[in-house]
Amino acid sequence: MNKQSPLYLAIFLAIVAAIAGGALYGANSLTLPIIKANEEKAEKASLLEMYPDASIDDFTTVDVADITPDHPFVDNVYTYGENVVIFKCSVSGYDGGTVFLVGIDKANDVVDAFQAISNADTKGIGSKITESAFKDSIVGKQASGQLDTISGATYTSTPVVQAINECATIATEIE
């Protein structure tokens, strides 16, 4: 075949791309399990902050494929022990919103633990959500009932509280 013909060039490029694709497939199947394990480990490390007495293997990851279409704020769900369901949620706020973990005791409908991971709202106002006062105000309360928001920081705290209420409902559906 003529080396200048478009067909030859196209075939040549296709072969190069196919070889590249094969190499990528190989590298991906080699590294994907390690990357997945790393990500899960990093996630679970933040769970340990909330439950310092637990070990990483105590948390079981729940498949969120059925939950996220109706509740888009839920990022991940874990179970801990028999009754506790832990939700990782990201909700919008005044500016950047809040990412937090909440553990719900589904048998007693109680907020078992709370941990704010990050808040990107106004420093000193919305960021109060990460302080222990808010955590103390909701831990032990009825998860599906009325929870206190932070006065002066309602833009930040209302979505968080609403998300916790919704999580309480989702928790009852998780086995």
**Which residues of this protein are in contact with another protein, per CB under 8 A?**
3-4, 8-9, 12-13, 16-17, 20, 23-24, 27-28, 30-32, 34-35, 38, 42
Least spacing, CB of residue 10 vs another protein, in Å: 9
Q: Tell the smallest beta-carbon distance from residue 37 to another protein (Å).
A: 9
Nearer to another protein, 17 or 56 (CB): 17
Instruction: State which residue, 31 or 61, has the beta carbon closest to another protein.
Output: 31
Which of residues 20 and 107 has its CB atom nearest to another protein in the complex? 20
Cβ atoms 115, 49 nearer than 8 A: yes
Q: Give whole-number Cα distances, 52 to 105, 112, 137, 140, in Å.
A: 17, 13, 20, 18
For the CB of residue 44, give the shortest distance to another protein in the complex, in Å.
14
Apex 19 CA angle, 16 and 23, nearest 5: 135
Cβ 6 to another protein shortest distance, Å: 9
Eight-state DSSP code of residue 63: P
Nearer to another protein, 28 or 68 (CB): 28
Residue 43 token pair: 């996630």
Neighbours of 69 (CB within 10 A): 8
Q: Cα 21 to the chain's mean position, in Å? A: 31
In 3-state terms the chain splits into helix, strand, coil percentages (rounded to 5) of 45, 20, 35
